[in-house]
Amino acid sequence: MTDSWFTRFLLVLCLVLLADGCGSAPEAVPPPDIDAANAFRLVGEICDIGPRPSGSDGGARTAQYIVDTATAYGYEPIQDTWTERTARGSVEFTNITAELGGGGGDESLIIIGTHFDTKILAGTAAFVGANDGASSTALVLELMRALKETSAAGRSTVRFAFFDGEEAFGQYSDSDGLHGSRRMARQLQESGRHRQCRAMILLDMVGDKDLTVTISPTDSRELRTKLFYIAEQQGTRKYFGYFMKGSILDDHIPFSRLGIPVLDIIDFKYGPNNSYWHTDQDTIDKLSADSLAIVGNAVIALICELNSE
């Protein structure tokens, strides 16, 4: 389904440019593509945990699963746990982050984000959010594995961010929904680090068998252009289009409000008229490993390109 030759070419080019620019030559070993089977396996394991609303036992077990998987892939994940008053009372949330490369302290930052919580659906006790939560969580973990193995660290620190509390308990507001991303954006702003943030790329609902990535025209023009160009080169351009029904409220918005260039890679056409979204139809049989590979290989190339600039 994907053009592995081009991905390898792009990554080698990236490494060559880095070596030229920095004077220190990273190993120019062509990296593997996304391991789609592994990504799909991780989706299954996350779904098997069951419902994962913020503050629930399933949510806590998912956070631990992310920490364990990231650790197994050679990272040192950090958990940030806090409590907020919500419409459902006091709820404990946990964000998880892990970083690759950089290390100088003042280098630029690229954030790759996803949420791992699931929505609480009235009348649906076993909502597993295969696409809405599990697919992007699994794919970010697989991106971490693939990037770590390539040693493709560039000029920026790449921060992988797993947000809790994306889903609103009621209606989205300044105190409901986007809990984890609002917290991280605030932390970035308080530290002044938001000024070095080169890009915030969010993945959400990326596993639909019938892949139709719907990019918002209000996202960063530069990031949109790069993504579409990469997809063109990888022969997957037909899977990437625009969302023309208004803006999408998601975890990228708190970062966008800080002036950080954002890109929300989301497929908001899930089932007929998006009818699988937030219903018990959101199960793993609607997903495919090929779709995870299409999105994952585009994102790896995008990270590499940004990291070489």
Q: Which residues of the shown chain bind Zn ion in the complex (CB under 5 A)?
A: 119, 132
Smaller CB separation from Zn ion, 132 or 142: 132
The smaller minimum CB distance to Zn ion, of residues 133 and 261, is found at 133
CB nearer to Zn ion: pick between 53 and 102: 53
* Residue with smaller CB distance to Zn ion, 61 or 278: 278
Quote the least distance from Cβ 290 to Zn ion, whole Å: 23
CB of 129 vs Zn ion, minimal distance in Å: 7
Minimum gap (Å) between residue 89 Cβ and Zn ion: 21
Give the residue with the Cβ less far from Zn ion, 119 or 269. 119
* Beta carbon of residue 86, minimum distance to Zn ion (angstroms, whole number): 16
CB 307, min distance to Zn ion, A: 29
Residue nearer to Zn ion on the CB measure, 127 or 239:
127
Dihedral, CA of residue 117, residue 74, residue 197 and residue 214, to nearest 10 = -50
Q: 211 and 267 in contact (C-beta within 8 Å)?
A: yes
Least distance in Å: CB of 282 to Zn ion? 9
Residue whose beta carbon is closest to Zn ion:
132
Cβ proximity to Zn ion: between 31 and 129 the closer is 129
| Residues making up the chain, counted from first to last | 309
Cβ proximity of 126 and 196 under 8 Å: no
Angle at the Cα of 31 from the Cα atoms of 13 and 298, rounded to 5 degrees: 75
CB of 91 to Zn ion, least distance (A): 17
Minimum distance from residue 77 beta carbon to Zn ion (Å): 23
Whichever of 146 and 206 has its CB closer to Zn ion, that residue is 206
